Amino acid sequence: MQGDIDRILYHETTILSRLDEMAHTIAKDYEGKELTVVSILNGSFIFMADLLRRIPLPLQIDSWSVSSYHGTKSKGRIEFRQNSIADVTGRHVLILDDILDSGLTLRAIKDRLAAESGAASIRSCVLLRKKLQREAATVADYVGFEIPDEFVVGYGLDYNEQYRNLPYIGVLNEEAIRRHAR
Ligand code: IMP
Ligand code: MG
């Protein structure tokens, strides 16, 4: 697996110290509020576990299974794999996703929550945000790291369901992209 990575962008220790800072900010912002975290699976499962253990507030978790990607390109259309969402009426919702690329996924999730949920507020938090030539379809309120517009894997992020368990975030090489293409 390691041989498929061109270069490592963030080691686990770097990620965790950034999560300490993000958790501190989030805990201050939501103190005294009824918080529900909506986590977007599968990509955010490690990020969610590491971030939420650093937030010393009462909170609830709802996990959504969403898919938007095929290979290394966004399809521009997202699929929700579950029909019902947790009742967040009057609660403050924080959406967690692994990465903001085109922003289409996050925008669709925010739109669905805004239309169906009766939440008191909706904000979003991503571990990574790609620096794009064009503008993303939406913004995130909390961002871990800004990265170049390259395809990355590890720490939850996949390429065709591979590499999620790498303990760091790295750029996938062209050879591996071809090998796992489908
Ligand atoms: P968007 O809709 O283009 O913003 O894409 C967001 C989703 O695509 C994320 O939740 C990821 O699952 C996936 N994604 C986007 N860029 C990458 C990447 O570089 N590596 C792995 N997954 C990615
Ligand atoms: Mg993915």
pLDDT tens readout for residues 92-114: 999 999 999 999 999 999 999 99
84 has a pLDDT exceeding 90: no
CB 51 within 8 A of CB 39: no
Please identify, by atom number, the ligand 1 atom nearest to the C-alpha of residue 158: 21
pLDDT confidence of 87, banded at 50, 70, 90? very high
The secondary element (H helix, E strand) that includes residue 176 is helix 174-179
Name the residue among 66, 125, 129, 59 with its Cα closest to residue 97. Answer: 125
Task: Decide: 98 in ligand 1 pocket, CB within 6 A.
Answer: yes
State in Å: Cα 69 to ligand 1 middle.
Answer: 7
CB 94 within 8 A of CB 117: no
Neighbours of 43 (CB within 10 A): 26
pLDDT tens per residue across span 141-182: 999 999 999 999 999 999 999 999 999 999 999 999 998 887
Task: Decide: 152 in ligand 1 pocket, CB within 6 A.
Answer: yes
Please give the pLDDT value at position 72.
Answer: 66
Please give the pLDDT value at position 77.
Answer: 72
Please identify, by atom number, the ligand 1 atom nearest to the C-alpha of residue 105: 2
Domains and CATH numbers, the chain: 12-147 (3.40.50.2020)
Name the residue among 86, 98, 89 with its Cα closest to residue 15. Answer: 98
Task: Give all strands (DSSP E) within 42-150, no chain letters.
Answer: 59-70, 73-80, 92-100, 121-130, 142-147
Name the residue among 14, 22, 6, 3 with its Cα closest to residue 155. Answer: 14
Sign, CA dihedral 17-34-45-159, equals negative
